[in-house]
Chain A
């Protein structure tokens, strides 16, 4: 049935649309380093926790440093772009250099359980929300 085939595609389109809709939402706006610095970040919610994803192609894992302090995450690193000897450049679009970016998240993190993954040029930070910061259901007595 055609509907079945188009479903995952619809999902991707909707997801891309959602990413556009949250472009520079005010969610991070009040933190000291708002938007604009390298690397560009996307912040997602996964259940109670947060996932921060950045595209940092061409950076070695050993050239990336992540620091967590309180609810502030700091990502620093260096990107190198090398050409072979005696190479004549036809096109040069990739940028190189050092970078540092800090973001303060508007919720309390469980800093001890932050996990970082780096694969195929994508850095993913899994930031669990502190237990005491999680919403509690209050039953009406």
Chain B
């Protein structure tokens, strides 16, 4: 008996960014789930083919930016015959609604999925301001 086909193909969306990259290579928007619990915000992104060392995650002015680079070296010597999706690096940015404790961000990559756990900052905590 054939297993029912529940999972659908999600067409990869090419990233449309306000900023241009210096290198004219394609970027795609990773499919992302974001959920919030009492103490943390969790961001889950699908970035197949990206290794942990090729990931950049940073938060600046309440904007979370993630960039993951695919190693094209794995495709050397391969000649396409039939294709259904394209391959490119991944990038996406989100404006965060709640204050995040920048010291307590944990990242995990498993089976091509990045899970970022962003602990919320305690509201009562005095904001530290560094004088430049």
List chain A positions with a Cβ less than 8 A from chain B. 9, 11-13, 15-16, 18-25, 27-28, 35-46, 50-51, 55-61, 76, 79, 81, 83-101, 118, 120-122
CA A88 to CA B98, docked complex, whole Å: 13
B85 to chain A, nearest CB (A): 4
Q: Given A25-B81, A38-B8, A42-B80, verify A89-B113 contact (CB < 8 Å).
A: no
Interface residues of B (CB under 8 A from A): 2-10, 23-26, 31-38, 41-42, 44, 46-51, 72, 75, 77-88, 109, 111-113
Q: Is the CB of A12 within 8 A of B84?
A: no
Q: A121 CA to B31 CA in the complex, in Å?
A: 13
What CA separation (Å) do A50 and B78 show in the bound complex?
A: 9
Q: Are A12 and B3 in contact (CB under 8 A)?
A: no
Q: Pick the contact of A99: B5, B33, B49, B109 (CB < 8 A).
A: B5
Set of chain A residues within 8 Å of B34, measured between Cβ atoms: 89-91
A15 touches B72 (CB 8 A): yes
Q: Which of A21, A40, A45 contacts B84 (CB 8 A)?
A: A40
Q: Which residues of B contact A76 (CB under 8 A)?
A: 3
